[in-house]
Chain A
Amino acid sequence: MVASICHAREVAKREPTILGREGLSALLDTLRANGYQLVGPVVRAGAIAYEAIAGLDDLPAGWSDSQEPGRYRLSRNDSPALFAYTVGPQSWKKFLPGAVTTLWQAKRQPDGGFVIAEPPTAAGNYAFIGVRPCELAAISIQDRVLQGGEYCSTAYLARRQKNFLLAVNCTRPGGTCFCHSWGTGPKASANFDLVLTELLSPPGQRFLLEIGSATGAEIAVQIPQQIASPHELAESAQLLERASHQMGRTLATAGVKELLARNIEHPHWESVAERCLGCANCTMVCPTCFCTTLSDTTNLTGDQAERVASWDSCFTLAYSYLHGGSVRSSRQARYRQWLTHKLSNWFAQFGEAGCVGCGRCITWCPVGIDLTAEVGAL
């Protein structure tokens, strides 16, 4: 049965609808027409990266990846699928607010004094295209960390103020994914504006569209779409049910907080330290890690100074440097800090875990250290 084209304004408020490839293209154009800058997945140097895109043609059609601890490979087939890849090394924190942020600048005045100014972070008005459910969860974790409490990042706030999240449900999880263990995927449940599920069965490629916010509804009404058939709804549900059994990894999340708290002194930390390079890749790729370091620089003549925040990691020695030396001078202390923060101490600090099960830290660890296996060994 062919669903009839109906008036978009009526549809968008109600049922899930169906878009064709042109419909999705129109959705991207509409976002742009509404003042958003599109950022989405592209293939860059053998991996999926998040970059500015012009439209549908920039999306990674036919690309998918295979992932295992310490190994990632992209490959392409003739499928038209736009979202057959899973998350890559980058996350949306690349834009929220990014790896390096200038916090303030000071200028010396003729009278010898100086004036301090906070350079405004460009709002960006980003529409993120293809945000995965685990990434939505990561963004809401960072929302709590960076704008929830007493210490709020104005740069982060500026970026989140007008920030459209076009999510995509995961029908093809990767070999290091375990979002089902946290309940953060493979289906988006909150914190998005619109969400797509890509269907590839006959009669061909189409996208189930669901609305998650008033802003999402306002955009959705502007594009042509059809009401989804019961068959299409069933197919989508089936794909997501199947995906939740296809995760490459599992983490016993129940009691993990207590498990780690009980095992601060455990011989296993030493065994991890023998393998761990202390290279910090795990923290850099993690979509919830938020730590930054501050550096103060000047111009040559000393008339201008600025303070810059850049991504830092609890794996560096400088991170825990206090007067006289680094508190966590051994790799085992640093790995333990990372794992216990993610899975245990984050609860005390922010009332939830600091992990969403995206698997990045496992894939992008050059020696393939697997957090699920390390927890399993405790």
Chain B
Amino acid sequence: MGKKLGPKIAVWKFASCDGCQLSLLDCEDELLSLAAVIRIAYFPEATSAELAPPYDISLVEGSITTAHDSARIQQVRESSQLLVAMGACATAGGIQALRNFSHVEEFAAKVYAHPEYLEHRSIDLAHSPPALRAAGDPLCGQDRLSGAPGILNRATAIAEHVPVDYELRGCPINKRQLLEVLNALLNGRRPEIPTHSLCLECKLQGVSCVMVSHGIPCLGPVTQAGCGALCPAYQRGCYGCFGPSESPNTAALSEALLQIGWQRADVMRAFRSFNAAAAAFRQAGEAYAR
């Protein structure tokens, strides 16, 4: 009797640093048992072997920043049964979404000696997926080409382009949460991914609050749990890399941060990092940019 073949998993990269994909390889202890129950169908970071679509689960890292990627994510979605967006880039746009508050041309001119070398290919509608061709616009929604051809004005989360089944937060993601999602999907149960504040995680682990006991500014009360209270455990404030919690009161926290010594610009910068474009953090950043 042949063994049942495990689900086919594909790992995709968009605009990102590869850190979240590495979390999968970082599952050292579990990697072998994982490899025994799944089939890696597409994972260029780890293997050059490829299996043809469709895929049972696609893990997507990175945000959409080019016209080419906005077409490619449609193809990924079409070829995947379940799509898991992983990391701050894929769930909120990532650090590169800072461009959303400014002008891409300016950044490009500052960073590159020859910004004109940046992606010059014009968008070929004939090669876009059918749905996009019908819409006549390869850029999904309100985005338009920026001054640099092919580069979008905004870096956006995967969910702004296609339906997403699960989101894993963090910069990078927590490997236990990644395993939990895969494990749950393999076993047909609901993944245990809490959406409450990081503070609960501090308390569950017996980490004493850095804000109350040291006056260290911390975004934990408005940030989603999941990292294991990594920063507070080392007596640092949370940087908010897991993005907004389920019901974040950023206004009240910002007031408290001012009271323990931050300036308005500090508050703005705190919210403008890995999850700058996530709605609650974007609003908080905007409120303190003025």
Contact = CB atoms under 8 A, between A and B. Distances in A.
Contact of B200 (A71, A89, A274, A313): A313
Contacts of B186: 300, 302
Contacts of B33: 300-301
A329 B246 CA distance: 10
A94 B212 contact: no
A72 B212 contact: yes
Given A297-B183, A300-B34, A302-B186, A316 B208 contact: no
A277 B200 contact: no
B196 interface: yes
A70 B256 contact: yes
B189 interface: yes
A279 B206 contact: no
Interface string B178-206: 01101110110100101111011001111
A46 B235 contact: yes
A44 B206 CA distance: 10
B38 to A, nearest CB: 9
A73 interface: yes
A280 B249 contact: no
Interface in B108-167: none
Interface stretch (B12-20, B58-66, B72-80, B218-226): B218-226
Contacts of B192: 295-297
- Label chain B's interface by main secondary structure: helix
Interface residues of B, number: 46
Interface residues of A, number: 48
A281 B204 contact: no
Given A297-B183, A301-B37, A316-B200, A274 B252 contact: yes
Choose among B30, B247, B251 the residue with the greatest number of A CB atoms under 10 Å from its CB: B247
A46 B213 contact: yes
A298 B208 contact: no
Given A49-B206, A331-B247, A366-B211, A298 B187 contact: yes
A296 B189 contact: yes
Nearest to A90: B206
B256 A280 contact: no
A318 B180 contact: no
B195 A366 contact: no
B208 A311 contact: no
Nearest to B234: A45
B268 interface: no
B214 interface: yes
A88 B208 contact: yes
Interface-central residue, B200, B212, B253, by most chain A CB under 10 Å: B212
Interface in A275-304: 275-281, 284-285, 295-302
A367 B213 contact: no
A320 to B, nearest CB: 12
Nearest to B220: A279
Interface in B7-65: 30, 33-34, 36-37
A363 interface: yes
A154 to B, nearest CB: 21
Contacts of A300: 30, 33-34, 37, 179, 182-183, 186
12 contacts: A71-B212, A284-B203, A295-B192, A298-B187, A300-B34, A300-B183, A310-B204, A317-B196, A318-B194, A318-B196, A364-B209, A366-B256
Interface of A: 44-47, 49, 70-74, 88-90, 94, 99-100, 274-281, 284-285, 295-302, 310-311, 313, 315-318, 329, 331, 363-367
Given A279-B197, A300-B37, 8 more contacts: A46-B214, A70-B256, A72-B213, A89-B203, A278-B248, A301-B33, A316-B196, A363-B212
